[in-house]
Structure 1
Amino acid sequence: MPFIPAHQPPTQTTALGWHFVFVDHQLLLPEADTDTLAPQAPTLFGAIDAPRHYLGRLDGHDCWTLALAEAPPGWRRVPLRAAMMQFPAPLMALAGRAAQVLEWDRAHRFCGVCGTPTQAHERERSRVCPACGHTAYPRISPAMMALVWREGELLLARAPHFAPGMYSALAGFVEPGESLEDCVAREVEEEVGVQVKNLRYFGSQSWPFPHSLMVAFTAEWAGGEIVPQADEIEHAAWYRIGELPGIPPRFSIAGHLIRDQVASMQERR
Structure 2
Amino acid sequence: MSKPYQKPAADEPAWWFIVSAGELLLSPTDNRPPHGQLDQLPLPDLNDYKVVFIGELRERNCYLVMADFGDAEFAALGDFHSLREVLVQQDDDMFAMAARAKQIADYLQTHRFCGRCGARMQAVDWELAMHCHSCQHRCYPRISPCIIVAIRKGRKVLLARGKRHPEGLFSVLAGFVEAGETLEQTLAREVMEEAGIEIKNHRYVASQSWPFPHSLMIGYTAEWRSGELRLDPFELEQGDWFDIDQLPRIPLPGTIAYKLIMQLKAEIDQEK
Q: TM-score, normalised by structure 1?
A: 0.92
What is the distance in 2 between the residues matched to 1:213 and 1:191?
20
Aligned pair count reads: 264
| Distance in 1 separating the partners of 2:168 and 2:56 | 40
Partner of 1:73 in structure 2? Answer: 75
Q: How far apart, CA to CA, are the structure 2 residues paired with 1:87 and 1:46?
A: 30
Unpaired runs of 5+ residues, structure 2, are none
What residue number does 2:269 align with?
266
Correspondence 1:213 to 2:234? no
The answer for the alignment partner of 1:47 in structure 2 is: 45
Name stretches of at least 5 consecutive residues in structure 1 with no aligned partner.
Answer: none
1:35 corresponds in structure 2 to 31
Q: Which residue of 1 aligns with 2:144?
A: 141
Deviation of the 1:212 alpha carbon: 0.6
Contact 1:19 1:64 in 2 (8 A): yes
Counterpart for residue 21 of structure 2: 24
Q: Deviations over 1:95-120 (max 9, x none)?
A: 00100111111111100000011011
Moved beyond 3 Å, runs of 4+: 5-14
Equivalent residue number for residue 56 of structure 1: 55
Q: Which residue of 2 aligns with 1:246?
A: 249
1:186 has 2:184 as partner: no
Separation of aligned partners in 1, 2:266 and 2:90: 25
Contact 1:36 1:87 in 2 (8 A): no
Aligned residue in 1 for 2:128: 125
TM-score, normalising length from structure 2?
0.91
Match in the other structure for 2:176 = 173
RMSD of aligned Cα (Å):
1.7
What is the Cα deviation at residue 87 of structure 1?
Answer: 5.8
Q: Is the 8 A contact 2:121 2:132 kept in 1?
A: yes
Deviation at 1:12, TM superposition (A): 7.8
Alpha-carbon distance, 1:37 to partner: 3.2
Aligned-pair identity in percent equals 36
Cα distance in structure 2, aligned partners of 1:17 and 1:224: 53
Q: Give 1:251 deviation, angstroms.
A: 0.8
Cα-to-partner distance string for 1:65-102 (whole Å, 9 max, x where unaligned): 02212132312111121233226222111100100111
SS in structure 2 at match of 1:209: coil
**Alpha-carbon distance in 2 for matches of 1:11, 1:211:** 26
Quote the Cα distance in structure 2 between the aligned partners of 1:12 and 1:26: 22
The one-letter amino acid of 2:125's match is E
Which whole-Å CA distance do the structure 1 matches of 2:143 and 2:83 have between them?
18
Superposed CA deviations along residues 116-137 of structure 1, whole A, max 9, x for unmatched, are 1101112211100000011100
Distance in 1, matches of 2:138 and 2:6, equals 24
Letter in 1 for 2:176: F
Q: Does residue 12 of structure 2 align to residue 15 of structure 1? A: yes
Aligned counterpart for 2:109 among listed residues 106, 110, 113:
106
Aligned to 1:229, what secondary structure does the other structure show? Answer: coil
